[in-house]
Amino acid sequence: MINLLEKAAANQLEQTGQVKKLAVPGWDSKSWIVYKIPLEYLYYNDKNGRINTVYKQYQAENGRLKPQPGNSNYNEIFEKFIYNSNSRALENTLQSIKEKTQQEPGVVLSDGRVIDGNRRFTALRMYQNQDHIPKTFEAVILSLNVNSENDEKKIKELELDLQLGREERINYDPIDRIFDVYNTIEVEKLMTVEEYKKASGAGNTKGINRDIRLAKLILQFIEIVSPGGNPVDKFYLARELKLDGPIEEIEGTINKLKDKEKTSITEAILTYLAVVKSTEGNTDVTRIMRDVKTKILKNDEIKKYFLRAVDDKVDDIIDAFSEIPIKNSNDLKQVTKSLPELNKSVNDFQSSVNRLIYKGRKDSERKEALLELQNILEKIEELDASDFKELTTDEFLDAKDVLMQITDTLFKLKQEMNK
């Protein structure tokens, strides 16, 4: 690998005349010289949180890639990852660079690893391939080593600050966000929850802790449909299957289950999610899981029948996936259709759940007012005093006024109910 800082010191890289303000953890310098770096010296960051799950999928099918700069196979494959992650945004960036040149400098390491500016780097590579005129990537150069544990943490903090902690941030895909939080905090243990919050610019740790819980549910799902190996390496299945909506729908309710019932109900619900994903095609699976949550899990009377009704079917389905673990989303449908006995268990499972949902819906109509109160309570319980910290003074006073109105309304309601 080349050393870009050595080339800069030897005046082999042209300076743009610009400086970029950048707060690198542990360093005093706040302004960094921007250089014009030939694309042949650069390569994509294989630890980029935005494409981590896509690369996990590639590794599962083809093995790990060795980082190489220039027109390497490595860069070509990662260029496709970046393009496919948001092709419209990439085309817009390409057009902007053609019309105005690169507007915002990126950040690279001395060995050419692109830490910030993957989309700009990709657009420049595409532009160079179109007109065959050599292009340069305008960026600052940092002497950090991704293979150093101490530097790896600094690089991650910098990535989060640049990609999520700025006003112009573009949020990760939900599954990539969930994976990045879990992988950074629980797997690689690069940061604590508090450190991740600070680096990403989050207002509090509530969302980060929830993402960890969501990731654990997703990993349980993966262990059901694709047992064997490390489920973390198969997190790409969650993105392929679009699990973010359905998992987010049921997480809060599952998290509140009593310990003695939590394990078995969670397994049954996640197995049902696999069944729905294998049979319902493009149906709104999030809505289906919402029905399970509101009509079964939140109805104590019906919930106690749920496990009895589906227990044997859950075992049959889990056993089938143990024999034929899935490797991609298409496998999920194939497994459930391939075995006649399994197909019967799947149909019986869905019929049982549909009957319970129907019964729950009837009960909900009768207990509509009670359920509405429970939903309101659940929403209020999700709030924390820290959620209001970023409000202006006037907005904070408005919030306190709303709380007072809620208190007064509840007091009047209780009085009327006691008559």
| Domain boundaries, given as residue ranges, for the chain | 4-165, 209-376, 389-417
Name residue, tokens 């207990």.
367
Give pLDDT tens digits along the chain (419 positions): 789 999 999 999 999 999 998 888 778 777 899 999 999 999 999 988 888 899 999 998 899 999 999 999 999 999 999 999 889 989 999 999 999 999 999 999 999 999 999 999 999 999 999 999 999 999 999 999 888 888 889 898 888 888 775 544 556 789 999 999 999 999 999 999 999 998 888 878 999 999 999 999 999 999 999 999 999 999 999 999 999 999 999 999 999 888 888 999 999 999 999 999 988 665 789 999 999 998 899 888 888 888 888 888 899 999 989 988 998 888 888 877 777 777 888 888 888 888 888 887 776 556 666 666 776 777 787 787 877 877 888 888 888 888 888 888 888 888 878 87
Q: Are strands 113-116 and 43-44 parallel, antiparallel or unpaired?
A: parallel
Q: pTM (2 decimals)?
A: 0.81
Which residues fall within 8 angstroms of residue 143, CB to CB, at 6 or more apart? 5, 109, 110
Query: What's the first-to-final CA gap in the chain, in angstroms?
Result: 81
CA separation for the pair 107, 344 (Å, rounded): 55
Which residues fall within 8 angstroms of residue 43, CB to CB, at 6 or more apart? 67, 68, 69, 70, 72, 74, 75, 78, 112, 113, 114
CA separation for the pair 162, 172 (Å, rounded): 12
Encoded amino acid at 65, one letter? L
- Tens-digit pLDDT profile for residues 103-158: 999 999 999 999 999 999 999 999 999 999 999 999 999 999 888 888 889 898 88
Task: Confirm if 141 and 109 have CB atoms less than 8 A apart.
Answer: yes
Give the largest Cα separation in the chain, rounded: 88
The 8-class DSSP code of residue 106 comes to: E
CA separation for the pair 271, 254 (Å, rounded): 14
Best CA proximity match to 357, nearest among 286, 265, 290, 263? 290
DSSP-based three-state secondary structure for 227: coil
CA separation for the pair 15, 69 (Å, rounded): 21
Task: Confirm if 53 and 123 have CB atoms less than 8 A apart.
Answer: no
- Tens-digit pLDDT profile for residues 277-291: 988 665 789 999 999
Q: Which two tokens stand for residue 355?
A: 């009957």
Name residue, tokens 């030939």.
38
Task: Confirm if 246 and 291 have CB atoms less than 8 A apart.
Answer: no
CA separation for the pair 61, 206 (Å, rounded): 35
CA separation for the pair 331, 130 (Å, rounded): 38
The 8-class DSSP code of residue 232 comes to: G
- Tens-digit pLDDT profile for residues 5-17: 999 999 999 999 9
